[in-house]
Amino acid sequence: MNIGAVAEASELPTKTVRYYADIGLVTPSGRSSSGYRVYGKSELRKLIFVRRARSFGFSVEECRELLGLYADRDRSSRDVKRLAVQRIEEIENKMRELQSLHDELSHLANTCHGDDRPDCPIISGLAS
Amino acid sequence: MNIGAVAEASELPTKTVRYYADIGLVTPSGRSSSGYRVYGKSELRKLIFVRRARSFGFSVEECRELLGLYADRDRSSRDVKRLAVQRIEEIENKMRELQSLHDELSHLANTCHGDDRPDCPIISGLAS
DNA sequence: ATAAGGTTTCCACTTACTGGAAGGTCAAGG
DNA sequence: CCTTGACCTTCCAGTAAGTGGAAACCTTAT
């Protein structure tokens, strides 16, 4: 598989696949005679894994760690669970923050008449 | 006020205040004879405004726009409300995403025994 | 043979700062 | 008067995770 094919199969932009190769996160299995990156099934699986893990909010470095655990099936699941639980807590914090942001902002927006008058509770709310 | 004072008063890092000056978001009212940035009450108000708007998720460029509206009290509140409503929708989208992320991830974490056994549903869940 | 499209490398740009180095300034204490 | 320490200046570099573009090479089809 060339980079375009593996990019499509993994649902990642070509640029991103190349970037992952550059940073050594998922390296191609080899190069063609003309220098094209060549990927196999196992790299494809890793790329899909990374895409999903990234969408779960794992950082690239965490993906690297996860990929290490993934590759080494002798590792305990404890390490993996630790990472996941940490992520869950971060997500919960982020959601709480967003909730209060949302509440404050919609309160302001609701009290704003949104017409041509210059008075705006959003502006004064932010300023106060 | 020197930069340290205005930074403390606005609850922003000095570096950030300097950065805002560099990008022309909040420029000091002048410079002292020795080249120190000098800030007045009006700049302090703007910095506080920006800090709050940033904490609401407005980008720096949106802050610039907001600051323009803020400065020009003849502007209608429609423009401001438009920005705010847009932000609220983005926040709601983000929260929905986070919610499904959270649900999926906690499902995986809950089914993971988290012991020394190498089998891990999180890993296989991400891989599938 | 040529055109289209895929691939290569390299470099710059993005967001919103943050850290650090080298050096100038200011106020207080000895 | 001198020094010390806190504060200030500019400039350079780096962060995360890519994205965009340019110039040139490769492959495939017509």
pLDDT tens digits along A66-116:
888 766 655 667 877 887 888 788 778 878 877 877 887 788 788 777 666
- As a whole number, the mean pLDDT across chain A is 84
Residue-level pLDDT at A108? 77
* Interchain contact B105–A (C-beta under 8 A): yes
Length of chain B: 128
Residue-level pLDDT at A58? 83
Residue-level pLDDT at B82? 82
Confidence of residue B112 (pLDDT cuts 50, 70, 90): confident
Interval B62-111: pLDDT, tens: 899 888 876 665 566 787 788 788 878 877 887 887 787 788 778 878 87
- Chosen for mutation from A93, A96, A122 (greatest number of chain B CBs closer than 10 Å) is A122
String of b and e for B13-49 (b: at least 16 CB within 10 Å)?
eeeebeebbeeebbebeeeeeeeebebeeebbbbbbb
* Interchain contact B42–A (C-beta under 8 A): no
Cβ neighbours of A73 in B, within 8 Å: 118
* Interchain contact A63–B (C-beta under 8 A): no
**Taking CB atoms and an 8 Å limit, are B112 and A69 in contact across chains?**
no
Residue-level pLDDT at B23? 95
Question: Dihedral through CA A97, CA A102, CA A104, CA A109, nearest 10?
Answer: 160
Cβ neighbours of A109 in B, within 8 Å: 81, 84-85, 88
